[in-house]
A and B are shown apart, each in its own frame.
Chain A
């Protein structure tokens, strides 16, 4: 069965420097998908945690494989899936923070979190409510660059801290 197409998919080389880029992309897509401004900080932090975890796992087990993030906004939800190959890592290079700490942070931030272990690795899915009326993108037809003058108005986007 074919996997449902994500609104945006990002793959990146498993290097810490790219985690910031992933955060920025995820936050931008969340905003365009209608996630309220008040939740965007949580989206940014949660996706950063999941990507940091994935980068560490890839660097340990499969440094040649990219980390994949799927961002999907539909049916009133905005979902992020981060897949890391290999075994679940601890947190960062500093073992003063216990293993699973980043997952605890994710669980405290996301509205809904599902973690599943598959033969391909660990999938972290998290989602937040999104208002379809304000979301500008779907699985198809999104304008390139996100600067379409014809996109529907989005609520509460003025004064974004991001």
Chain B
């Protein structure tokens, strides 16, 4: 398990049932998004190609953050992997809807649901 902390963004990740879960807390914007991008790149480079990003504690997400998630999705797909999201917050879901990315990402209500869905598609 790794833990990174800063004032604006907190990142944590762990493995559950063979899927890497990334917990994100705080604000993902032009300042903090590079840290999430680095983490996703590290995970993929270390062979984790099934990823779930838990965004339940994300307070703010902008298009830079969306770009990082799209970048992560592109990287895992290059290895036949997946990147799913967990999010139930309307204020965060709205930006996915505005940009049409609800059709690109699998968005789930809980981490367990995301894992179960991923395993059922294997």
**Which residues of A are in contact with B by a Cβ distance under 8 Å?**
16-17, 19-20, 23, 41, 44-45, 48-49, 52, 55-56, 91-94, 96-97, 101-102, 104-105, 108-109, 161
Contact A48 B8 (CB under 8 A): no
Partner of B62, one of A45, A108, A161: A45
Partner of B30, one of A16, A44, A104: A16
How far does the alpha carbon of A26 sit from the alpha carbon of B44 in the complex, in Å? 37
Count A/B pairs, Cβ under 8 Å. Answer: 73
Contact B30 A55 (CB under 8 A): yes
Inter-chain contacts of A17 with B (CB < 8 A): 31
Contact A94 B60 (CB under 8 A): no
Most buried by B among A19, A52, A92: A92
B39 at the interface (CB under 8 A from A): no
Inter-chain contacts of B62 with A (CB < 8 A): 45, 48-49, 52, 102, 105
Count, chain B residues at interface, CB 8 A: 23
Contact A41 B91 (CB under 8 A): yes
Partner of B98, one of A23, A52, A91, A109: A109
A sample of 8 inter-chain contacts (CB < 8 A) reads: A16-B30, A48-B62, A52-B29, A52-B62, A97-B63, A104-B98, A105-B98, A108-B99
A16-B29, A20-B8 in contact; A102/B91 too (CB < 8 A)? no
A109 to chain B, nearest CB (A): 7
Partner of B66, one of A19, A20, A41, A97: A97
**Which residues of B are in contact with A by a Cβ distance under 8 Å?**
8, 27, 29-31, 33-34, 37, 60, 62-64, 66-68, 70-71, 74, 91, 94-95, 98-99
Contact B64 A52 (CB under 8 A): yes
Contact A48 B29 (CB under 8 A): yes
Partner of A44, one of B33, B37, B60: B60
A138 to chain B, nearest CB (A): 29
B36 to chain A, nearest CB (A): 11
Inter-chain contacts of B34 with A (CB < 8 A): 93
Partner of A19, one of B30, B68, B91, B99: B30
